[in-house]
Amino acid sequence: MTTLIYAIGNPLRRDDGAARRVAELLGPGEYTLHCPRELMPEMAEDVAAADRVIFIDADYQPGEARLESLKAACCPGLLSHGLRPCDLLSLTRKLYGFQGVAWLCRVPGEDFGEGEGLSPAAERSALRASVLVRALFS
């Protein structure tokens, strides 16, 4: 099974870089990892080639890190400089007939201002998220 992981976010916007921290905590594995600042339509071809796609992204909503299955196609929003994971999946399904499974791992943060490093809350969320993502491999 081919697995593609996108750890999305800008590490220069504090907790927006939480997904990259999750990727660090996961370490090497049997997957292909990309760490873009945002999702782009050009990524659809890579997504189509995978059996499983895991999107990891910082979340403004407080709470615990969580996994969500991205089964249903969402209604794409206006295309701007980036896409939401469900937008990229919808595009991939439409263009390439993607039939794989997809997950979104939300990593709550609290400080999205300029700067580097995670808040203590985002670090805790990243640790929990790494456990959730690892569980998908067992």
Q: pLDDT tens-digit profile of 3-28?
A: 999 999 999 999 999 999 999 999 99
CA dist 130 → 117, 121, 134 (Å): 17, 14, 6
Put simply, whether the predicted model's pTM sits higher than 0.95 gets the answer: no
Tokens at residue 92, please? 């991939």
Contacts of 34 (CB under 8 A, 6+ apart): 4, 5, 6, 7, 43, 46
Q: pLDDT tens-digit profile of 84-133?
A: 999 999 999 999 999 999 999 999 999 999 999 999 999 999 999 999 99
Q: Which parts of 38-83 are beta strand (E)?
A: 52-59, 66-69
For position 71, what pLDDT does the model report?
79
Candidates 106, 133, 111, 117; CA nearest to 23 is: 133
Domain annotation for the chain: domains and CATH numbers? 3-135 (3.40.50.1450)
